[in-house]
Amino acid sequence: MRTEWTPQDLPGRAFYRMITAVVVPRPIAWVSTTSADGVDNLAPHSFFTIACADPAIVQFTSTGRKDSLRNAEATGEFVVNLASEPLWKEVNASGTAYPPEVDEFEALGIAREESAAVRPPRVAASPVALECTLHSTVGFGTSTVVFGRVVHVTVDDGVLGRDGLPEVERLRPLARLGRNEWSTLGEVRAVDRLPYTP
In degrees and rounded to multiples of 5, residue 87 shows phi and psi of: -105, 20
Q: What percent of the chain has pLDDT over 90?
A: 98
pLDDT over threshold 90, residue 19:
yes
pLDDT band at 42 (very low <50, low <70, confident <90, very high): very high
The dihedral formed by the CA atoms of 171, 128, 148 and 190, expressed in degrees to the nearest 10 = -30
Is there a cis peptide before residue 7, judged by omega within 30 degrees of 0? Answer: no
C-alpha 31/C-alpha 94 separation (Å) is 10
Show the CA angle centred on residue 137, arms to residues 95 and 35, nearest 5°: 50
pLDDT over threshold 90, residue 70:
yes
pLDDT over threshold 90, residue 109:
yes
Buried b (16+ CB within 10 A) or exposed e, 60-81: bbbeeebbbbbbbbebebbbbb
Written as one letter, the residue type at 191 is V
Tens-digit pLDDT profile for residues 111-160: 999 999 999 999 999 999 999 999 999 999 999 999 999 999 999 999 99
Q: What percent of the chain has pLDDT over 70?
A: 100
pLDDT band at 12 (very low <50, low <70, confident <90, very high): confident
CA distances from 21 to 18, 51, 88, 145 (A): 5, 22, 20, 20
pLDDT band at 95 (very low <50, low <70, confident <90, very high): very high
The answer to whether the pTM exceeds 0.75 is yes
Q: Are strands 26-27 and 56-63 parallel, antiparallel or unpaired?
A: unpaired
Average pLDDT on 10-28 reads 94
Show the CA angle centred on residue 177, arms to residues 135 and 109, nearest 5°: 70
105 exposure class (CB count in 10 Å sphere: 0-12, 13-18, 19+): buried
At 103 the pLDDT is 98
